[in-house]
Amino acid sequence: MNALEPFIHRFEPATAPGQAPLLLLHGTGGDESDLLPFGLAVAPGAGLLSPRGRTLEAGMPRFFRRLAEGVFDEEDLTRRTHELADFVEWARAEYRLPAPIALGFSNGANIAAAMLLLRPEVLSGAVLLRAMSPFEKPPAAVLDGKPVLIVSGSFDPIIPEANAARLAATLVGAGAAVAHRSLPTGHGLSQADLRLVRDWLAERPALAA
């Protein structure tokens, strides 16, 4: 696929004013429809932009390649992050959107974290569900108080708590306003995630300005 072509995606226009749009970024094996129900539940009436990852792993869509579980191809991650950021800029012009809040799960959360570090101007904030640090040596970034919610699972067999804590520390060091919460669950999403994200988003109406 040509890097300049838009991602396969779905866009649901806002039906209520006063909310930032959400950029929905699925996990491994998901697609552009995967997180729409979650987005509708946590931000009723908000615009939803949901692209499909362009990388395939055993036939399953992802946003970037990995060398093994928890070991990322950082060259590919960097390239794919810029491609995704360019798509968001295209979509903002096409659909007349303000800067979105990224809401990513697992692989989608990891590329959202990479976007915060490489292209922070594209996002107004981020919700990172089951995220880990995307870079061994994070690039310098200036996040200027950008709000970020990280939600980890205390029984997650894939992401060590120390790794998620390192991501939180990296973003705090870059100036983000980070809330890091851990839920008594595994890698999958739960109703507790939904409630936590919904409440966090509801406290941030100014992001839609």
pLDDT the model gives residue 1: 45
**Model's pTM, two decimal places?**
0.94
Q: Has 26 been annotated as catalytic?
A: no
Give the pLDDT band of residue 18 (cuts 50, 70, 90). Answer: confident
Q: Please, what is the average pLDDT of the chain?
A: 93
Contact 144, 171 (CB under 8 A): no
Which domains does the chain carry?
Answer: 9-208 (3.40.50.1820)
Q: Which of 50, 106, 124, 133 is catalytic?
A: 106
pLDDT the model gives residue 136: 92
Q: Which of 9, 73, 76, 187 is catalytic?
A: 187
**pLDDT tens digits for 33-78?**
999 999 999 999 999 999 999 999 889 999 999 888 778 999 999 9
Q: Has 156 been annotated as catalytic?
A: yes
Q: Which of 50, 124, 156, 193 is catalytic?
A: 156
* Rounded average pLDDT over 97-111: 97
Residue 87, both tokens? 């798509």
User: Looking at the predicted structure, is the pLDDT value of residue 205 above 80?
Assistant: no
Q: Has 180 been annotated as catalytic?
A: no
